[in-house]
Chain A
């Protein structure tokens, strides 16, 4: 085979070069845009300063007309302070006499008359006579400060574009370079053994395609000569050449179906899968707020629980339908199931865009959940088949990368789109993306035959019993997995948007805060998993992750009301990201260890049962957060969830340590 290392180097090298180029181009466009914005906004601010001056002068005029001399307008400072409180961009107002001496001014430090901040001067007159003037100073850094907000968003967009580009480029390079070379590598490996039964599929017009054509010509010429020989032999092969012909049969008998076409490639689904996740993640940053806007009372349910239902029921249905989807993947084949799953996804997103009340929202989110369960299982099934045994871990890494990158990009871009287009239109965009995903899937997989069915292991109630009655599984699921999932959905996905919205942050800021979690997960997920593998101390990593996540969740309550509160929440998100990067892969490794103890055919089933049970935490998260928020508010609810995770982390670490000590004592 061609060296994987070289292919990866080629692929990542090309991607790195493009990213560098992209960063340069985007930075140039962003800088030029910011300069344009500043040029247009400055005069608008000056116009605003004039209006404020006009408003104050009209009051001064009223005083003068009532007979109060300019020098006796003693209430000026209080009045100016009130006006300035409504206009943060105006920093100072001065009432000056005809000679330019300051008579009265708003509170605060004076500015020298030559300061560039003075934006305008409005004359103060009485009966046509100029008595003085009113000068208004605009905060010198106001536009820059407001543009810094845009700069922050530009940086976010740049980051998102880089991740998005990385995702797309990996697919492009895989499609045109690494996969064709890998396929040729398989043929060359056969050729080195003197076997020429297969030809290369997909002869493109580039150098690799031309080589594939030439290689096929080389093979076909030999196959044709051999087939002519075979024809001339007739029904009986002369015994003196029988052994030679038999050897030639093994080497040159063309196979009816080129091997490459049947195998498929993980790259085929990478982009459609990314688009699918991207579409479903677009609403992440505003879904609870959208639910709140559509709120209508439902019998027996509190306001908080009702608006948490679209998220909680979605997660519940995904958990319930996943085992069913696994069985369907065996029956229909992953390609067909993937396409079937995209139908409810697209429909659900489209109808959510048109939802007029909370019931409609809940209904269509449930349809979405069915789509999500079917599609993700189909994708996992396809990847497992296409990657084969040797590249299964890589296949799963591609799946996880698509999910996390889409989470990052979708959350942030969804927030910005919702701010600009509104919630309904953002769901429409998501529906279009789901459709695009389906089209790409049809195009990419049209050459692949219907995949073989079967192979999956069906879940039985006994599998759940096995997981629930094993003390080791109990520890992992109750003390580690459920608290982790609970914090993810309760804090990150439900309480964060509600908390920040209540404080007055825009949807795009909420999206940016939430994306910190995904960025950290993307950057640290693989390195921390490798580190855990190297040390083999999975329980230590899982325990440390739980403890850190618990501490991190205490931050919003501890900093409630602080300046730049969103930054504190972002810090908390980042720490939870680090904690989950430490904890989640380690939990997965412990799960595999425990499943190995079960052994046999039920090993896979016990993993699947564990995954279903783990989602109990996902479902409970939003419901518990909503219930607690009604009593304690969002910041303290997050704090309580943090305390719970912290307690679980302590128990998990202690039990793990005791078991380790017990194990060591038994060995001695």
Chain B
């Protein structure tokens, strides 16, 4: 028995919300990065679920692009975080106060 599409949409909505709240409330920059990844992966759930529901492949193609972009983004993001750690020896966003936040 197939799982109805609404289940997938609710799941991806929840994952997206967890990511969104994580970005807004967490202070550890690594956890913020993980939360952003959650948001992107919620999108992928949506794309794959809709793709299978609509019997249309373009959603799955989009997922490949989204995954690749997310990987590139994380690579650059981690590099920036390392450079930042060398200056501040901290990964807490509250310590990044040279510029008024």
Q: Do A and B interact?
A: no
Contact surface of A with B, Cβ cutoff 8 Å: none
Contact surface of B with A, Cβ cutoff 8 Å: none
